[in-house]
Structure 1
Amino acid sequence: MLSRLVLVFLFVVQTNSLSVLTDDKSQATKTDGETVLVRQLLNQETLIRMALDRKVNELVKGMAEMKKNMETSNQQLQDAKREIQTNNKQLQDAKRTIETNNQQLQNATMEIAAIKNENNALKAEWQVQKNITTFLSDNLKTTINTMKQSQNSQRELSSAVSSLQAFQTNLSQLSGSAVGFTVGVTSSSTWAGDILVFPHNVTNTGHYNTQTGKFLAPRDGMYVFFVVVVSNIKNDLRVDIVRDGNSKVRTDLHSDDHHQTASNLAVLKLDKGDLVWVKRSDGKGYHSTNPPYITFSGFLL
């Protein structure tokens, strides 16, 4: 745009110069001196015009170079702009990559924390299982020891019962009208009643009632009664041998161990028609099997 304005200006100046010089040629009345002067002016005008043309050409050439430089600068500017855009895109990609890495790091951190919590929970559960195992092991040892003690007691009771049965057999052989019985309980039970009924007959001459749990003296005399009881698990148990409602002797089992055994014997002078039975004094239950652990025996001397 600037080069066009300069060219228009020069064209106007040249036109005005020519018009002045050509108008002088029409004046035929001028002198020779004036003619020489006009020629000199024309020569000067020619020189000026030539110098002016050179300047214009130089200016046009400079403006062309300037335009080329500006185009080159614009191209470089566009290249720089594209490079900046490329760098910005790379920066955005790098930023997204960093954000992704940060998110993955956070996820890994949370996963590690969850794994640590899970390990702590597993350690706590393992400790609980270990404590339970230790507790069960101790209980198993205690149970084994108790069973050994119970087996010893059962052997002693079996020996005592065998002795009583042998004694009863001898009495039966000595007297045809012998009076005696051995009755038992063949299952465990939680017991909250009063009279302990022995429904299982081992030996019974008919004077012990397995329905009411009471022995009826058939005649006056000295009678021997023997009771054996076993506690259920770790329950207290106390039973009495009772004559007509009056407790005569008692067995006492404490809840220190499983299936404890106790026994007692009473020699009673009875009148015909007296009643004897076993009564629960205190406790919650008893333990027995078949053949019975728990027995009640009696006979007439």
Structure 2
Amino acid sequence: MSSTPPPGWYRDPSYPLVERWWDGSAWTDHRRQPETPQEPLVGPRPAGRGPGRAKVIALTAAGAVLVAAVVTGVVVLARDAGGSGSGAEAKTTAGSSVTTTPSASASATWPSASASEPSADDPSVVEDELNGITMPLPDGWVRAENVAEDDVVMTTPGTYDCPGDPGLCRHGQVLSRTATASDASPKALARGDIADAMDTAFDRDGLGSRPFGGVTSHREVKAGTVAVGGRAGYFVRWRVTTAKGPGGYVQSLAFPSSVGSEAPVIVRFAFDAGADGPPLTDMDKITKGIRPIGDPATGGGVGSSIGASR
């Protein structure tokens, strides 16, 4: 039975000159320049093949690393001697040229992963073109894939068995949608949405199942005004207790869009509580990082801090 590599930085299969973050199940959009040379990791041995092929691949990879090291040494010596080597090509003693361009097969191997995850300064964002906004994609989050709701824009990677009715759950998700009550204030919209956000995430899903055994109680932990992309908005956050599992947190954020008719936008957050859930600070990071599409510098303004006022 084959196994997938653990989360980490690996050579990008589509562009081996950079490293790309593998979250353990899929490639993300986080990329960086390699910090140190990485040794390729030989993948699982196909069924019916003996161990000899794995040894050949390993020796071939080691030989490639050795050749690259020799070529690099030639280039450095040539520069020290006043040569005109460009760094991409070096002359050997026989007069032939040796290039350091990675071979096509390099993209098919897994380099060893580094311990560090994508930095908080990574510019990756997700777009909600309908409402004209972008949101930052924090470390530990991925763009929405294989989710039932069309409005979900990002989730935590992977799934787990729900503690209540049979099914698969995620530790966190964020969705954005246009509010139906276009004449209501952001405060009224957020307070009118929070109960439905709780029920949808933790009480009963669209199929009528109760993945957490139902909601037993909730309490408000935070609420107040906040600037979203330079516009005055309002948010409400609840702590939810469920019959099974650790429960979680939901937040409803409402603000006027800066495009078109400036219809109000609702952004919902649903995070599992406990050690496996994403940090609550991600709610604040995403909220503060929302920008109008094409205007990444917009920020601050009235209510720019996320406060505890009501």
Of the two structures, which has the highest relative contact order with CA contacts closer than 8 Å and spacing of 6 or more? Answer: 1
**Structure with greater strand percent:** 2
Q: TM-score, normalised by structure 2?
A: 0.23
**Structure with greater helix percent:** 1
- Which entry has the higher C-alpha Rg, 1 or 2? 1
Q: TM-score, normalised by structure 1?
A: 0.24
